[in-house]
Amino acid sequence: MKYGNFDDNAREYVITEPETPRPWINYIGRQDYVGMISNTGGGYSFYQDPRYRRLVRYRYNNAPRNVGGRGLYVRDAESGEYFSPTWQPARVDLDDYECRHGLGYTTIRGEKDGVAGEVTYFVPPGEDLEAWRVTVENDSDEPRSLQLFSLVEFCLWDAMDDISNYQRNYNTGEVEVEDSVIYQKTEYRERRNHFAYFACSADIDGFDTQRDAFVGQYDGFDEPQVLEDGQATDSIAHGWSPIGSHQVDLELEPGESEDIVFLLGYHENPEDEKFEAPGVLNKEYVEGTIEEYCDPDALDAAFEELNEFWDDQLSALQVETPDEETDRMVNTWNAYQNTVTMNLARSASLYETGLTRGIGFRDSLQDQLAVLHQFPDRARQRILNLAKIQLKDGGAYHQYTPLTGEGNADIGGGFNDDPMWLVMSTAAYVKETGDTSILEEEVVYENEPGTEAPLAEHLQRAVEYVWERRGPHDLPLIGHADWNDCLNLNCFSENPDESFQTAEHDVDEERAESVFIGGQFVYAVEELAELAEQTDVLPEAAEDYQRYADEMAEAVADAGWDGKWFRRAYDHFEDPIGSSENDEGQIFVESNGMCGMAEIGREDGKVQDAMDSVRERLATEHGIVLHQPAFTEYDERYGEITSYPPGYKENGSVFCHTNPWIMITEAKLGNGERAFDYYKRICPAAREDISDVHTTEPYVYAQTIAGPDAPTTGEAKNSWLTGTAAWNYVAITQHILGVRPNHDGLVVDPAIPADWDEYEVHREFRGATYEITVENPENVESGVDRVEVDGEEIDGQTIPDLGDGETHDVRVVMG
Ligand code: GLC
Ligand code: GLC
């Protein structure tokens, strides 16, 4: 069952049924001002920090989902009937409904009884505001007297306080109204110098700023009092719940339409210019912006600019393959999701509340892997920002807060995979850009002035951190957890009120080890050894590190090998996890993926055996599950992983983030069929037809898909903000389609389904453009017979870094 379709030319997903199985959302805004819009106009907005600078309220755990926050209503003044063109909040059945989620904008159109309302939401590039460009159209044969009502429910800035501290915040709300602009200035009288405004381009026929006046004491957003009455009350909020609502009366002849613009913006005034008169907000700095964008033409120009921005962003890598779903993911949606995850990490979605999590060290570093070709400068900056929260011992704070850039002390460090991601992402950055100067950037530790050291030294400390923390089998100690946050082998928690990740350790000495980090260490240290050859800021590192990598690989191949696959870990009692010796959790995907990518024991067939075991024991029609058998009981030796019912989350779901590690390993082995088969199993576009099972958006990846042990097998959860996006993009573009940067140039090394005869990759790389055509005359899965650059055959499979600003034709013949 489908709820819409892809419009590939427009780069839009078109939803034709408002009652999707879950709210299907989109993001507007990229950097400072960010909003989410669902297919029924819901969602929330914030400036930079989703907790401390929240503009639009979100009602957590609400039923129905996603009501409040934003709204639009069109009312027939004569009949008193009204509807929402976005279906919610009014939830009146529409004669016609369509939502188009595009890149950085969403357009929703709803029609009822001959009147259509259409709204496009977007953030004009570079501005701290969201625009709603609304058109109301009389499609009937009669002149119509209509009324348009807007609604923004303001959040009182600190979104956590907003939902928890009523004794205070029922008293703090303050607004001002001037002409058609409503200013939300709660707490501005004291320590805030920021405020929000909600402007309307039309002269208004009334307004409301107090929620209860608009909605009524006992009514809902679906039947607000003001819509029942047909007249705003001009309420001024003193405390309680400030909102912004405009009333615009319209007389429309048959066929006539009117454009009305609403702007919801954020602004910070200079500290000494907060007020224009005692207690009166200084509006001077926003007046110009409001005037500018209330003009629909100026807004249209900004919209054009937004589209050009995206054309430009996506043009760095475009493909044409025999598979339509691959093309639409790679060319548009996966790349788009990558930019969202790059910007927001795991902070704010409809599943991530924006209240608790900052920018995660491990998560954000992995997100960079997929955007390096798109915006290398921003990725460079993010890598450096993350390096600032590295600890002096080489470990890292697990998260930082976007507003301050400081490490989150509540969570601290001790996730022992964290530092390795810094090495892996820095290496990937240098391979993409050739910019080794990043290694010389002076970066502090722990955000502490005076501790500056070149990034290269940060990487070395990262390696030493893991190297110095090895356990009884010479494998890395796991700490609180590695990639799998829920494998908590030092926790032994009996207290339901504590977090598995941060609980005080019960163990006197940490002994639990991670095979996953062992694999990751080998991978990362080999990258570092290669990096060292590119630059002289890593003196002598290359040789030392090769030795570290070899020794670790030996430990993994020895204690980390179970006979047919890589084990997962050793617990506190030195017993294996992920072994045929276990009753449950006998085999795990993530250690097999990571050790496979690191090619540990490849020469003696271990990697192939591991992949065969994964295929036999973990691969399902909905993707590859984390482990089997799932844990059926809570086991304090293992921690949170055993807290989830079987088949969900870390206890045996298809945790989509890990699947690409298997795709990449299969591709490295030359198994194109298998690699692509796994790619398609979790590819959201390929699951569109089973939307009733999958339930989340068919255009973006979700974190998990319930595994076979769960009663709701195949159901996805936690869409949008997941490392799945970055890794799948890396898997399909760099390993299956096989075009990936190394230090010397672009390698072409396909691993594809044998029945593909040909495909094309357009790739910008270090200032030149490569039009790559891969031909597969013998219908093989992998292997390259010859590569021609501009008609000349080259040695090997690496297109040299030509860096000449020109376009080059590359012909690759497989065989
Ligand atoms: C979540 C976390 C990520 C972790 C994964 C597995 O996605 O954001 O850091 O690796 O869960 O536990
Ligand atoms: C829970 C989730 C995991 C997440 C962690 C940190 O343990 O299962 O995916 O990474 O919380 O927020």
pLDDT, tens digit, for every residue of 343-368?
A: 999 999 999 999 987 889 999 999 99
How far apart CA 563 and CA 385 sit, in angstroms, is 42
Q: Does residue 399 carry a pLDDT above 80?
A: yes
Distance (Å) from CA 485 to ligand 1 centroid: 6
Ligand 2 pocket, residue 485 CB under 6 Å: yes
Q: Does pLDDT of 541 surpass 80?
A: no
176 touches ligand 2 (CB under 6 Å): no
* Whole-number Å distance between alpha carbons of 377 and 439: 14
Which residue CA neighbors atom 4 of ligand 2 most closely?
A: 485
Residues in Cβ contact with 740 at an 8 Å cutoff, skipping those fewer than 6 apart = 431, 733, 734, 746, 747, 749
* Residue 604 CB partners (closer than 8 Å, separation 6+): none
For residue 721, give the nearest of 337, 334, 330, 331 by alpha carbon: 337
Question: Per-residue pLDDT averaged across 597-613, rounded?
Answer: 98
Which two structure tokens, joined as six digits, stand for 382? 């993010």
Mutate to test the pocket of ligand 2, among 493, 650, 651, 704 (most ligand atoms within 8 A of CB): 650
Cβ–ligand 2 contact at 640 (below 6 Å): yes
pLDDT one-digit tens code per residue, 117-171: 999 999 999 999 999 999 999 999 999 999 999 999 999 999 999 999 999 999 9
Percent of the chain at pLDDT > 90 equals: 94
Contact 368, 429 (CB under 8 A): yes
**Ligand 1 atom nearest residue 723's Cα:** 7
CA 413 to CA 711: how far, in whole Å?
36
Closest CA to 260 of 141, 85, 83: 85
Distance CA 401, CA 102 (A): 29
Model pLDDT, residue 597: 98
Q: How far apart are CA 427 and CA 366, in angstroms?
A: 12
Out of 410, 486, 722, mutate this one to test ligand 2's pocket (max ligand atoms within 8 Å of CB): namely 486
Cis status of the peptide bond prior to 89, with omega within 30 of 0: yes
Is the Cα torsion angle 9, 676, 740, 521 positive or negative in sign? positive
- CA 260 to centroid of ligand 1, rounded, Å: 43
Average pLDDT, the chain: 96
User: Which residue, judged by its Cα, is nearest atom 7 of ligand 1?
Assistant: 722
Gap between the Cα atoms of 77 and 96, Å rounded: 21
* Cα 305 to averaged position of ligand 1 atoms, centre (Å): 35
User: pLDDT at residue 506 above 70?
Assistant: no
Q: Which residue do the tokens 């006979």 mark?
A: 563
Contact 558, 604 (CB under 8 A): no
Give pLDDT, residue 403: 81
* Contacts of 366 by beta carbon, 8 Å cutoff, 6+ apart: 421, 425, 723, 726, 727
Q: Work out which ligand 2 atom sits closest to the CA atom of 500.
A: 7
Ligand 2 neighbourhood includes 363 CB (under 6 angstroms): no
Q: State how far the Cα of 704 lies from the Cα of 324, in Å rounded to an integer.
A: 24
- Give dist(CA 809, CA 811) in Å, integer: 7
Residues within a 6 A CB radius of ligand 1: 346, 360, 362-363, 483-486, 650, 703, 722
> Among 184, 203, 158, 154, which residue's Cα sits nearest to residue 283?
184
Whole-number Å distance, alpha carbon 410 to ligand 2 midpoint, is 15
92-131 in b/e form (b: 16+ CB < 10 A) is bebeebbbbbbbbbbbbbbbbeebbbbbbbbbbbebbbbb
- Band (pLDDT 50/70/90 cuts) for residue 619 is very high
Q: What are 525's two structure tokens?
A: 């240290």
Q: What is the mean pLDDT of residues 684-702?
A: 98
Indicate if the pLDDT at residue 504 is higher than 80.
no
Structure confidence at residue 534 (pLDDT): 87
pLDDT at 706 over 90: yes
pLDDT at 540: 73
Instruction: State which ligand 2 atom lies nearest to the alpha carbon of 644.
Output: 8
Sheet with 129-138, edge to edge strand ranges: 4-7, 12-15, 96-102, 105-112, 115-122, 129-138, 257-268, 194-200, 181-184, 175-178
Residues 406 and 356: their CA atoms lie apart, in Å, by 14
Confirm or reject: Cβ of 482 under 6 Å from ligand 2.
no
Ligand 2 and 486: CB distance under 6 A: yes
Closest residue CA from atom 9 of ligand 2: 485
What is the rounded CA–CA span in Å between residue 364 and residue 346? 8
Q: Which residue has the higher pLDDT, 534 or 42?
A: 42
CA nearest neighbour of 703 among 716, 715, 685: 716
Atom in ligand 2 nearest the alpha carbon of residue 357: 12
pLDDT, tens only, 242-267: 999 999 999 999 999 999 999 999 99
Element spanning 223, H or E: none
Q: Comparing C-alpha atoms, which of 173, 192, 69 is closest to residue 130?
A: 69
pLDDT(234) > 80: yes
The answer to whether 558 and 570 are in contact (CB under 8 A) is: no
Which of 417, 482, 648, 657 for mutating ligand 1's site (highest number of atoms within 8 Å of CB)?
657
Which residues form the catalytic set?
485
- Which residue puts its alpha carbon closest to atom 10 of ligand 2? 485
Backbone angles phi, psi at 767, to 5 degrees: 85, -5
- pLDDT of residue 404 exceeding 90: no
Measured from the Cα of 703, ligand 2's closest atom is 9
Query: HEC states along 465-512?
Result: HHHHCECCCCCEECECCCCCCCCCCCCCCCCCCCCCCCCCCCCCCCCC
Residue 548: which H helix or E strand, with range? helix 541-558
CA dihedral 792, 796, 798, 802 (to 10 degrees): -40
Mean pLDDT of all residues in 31-38? 95
Cβ proximity of 559 and 473 under 8 Å: yes
CA–CA dist 384, 379 (Å, integer): 9
What tens digit of pLDDT does each residue of 77-98 get? 999 999 999 999 999 999 999 9
Distance (Å, whole) CA 510 – CA 571: 10
- Show the tokens assigned to 358: 């900052």
Place of tokens 């427009």: 10
Q: What is the mean pLDDT of residues 490-509?
A: 87
Q: How far apart are CA 706 and CA 653, in angstroms?
A: 5
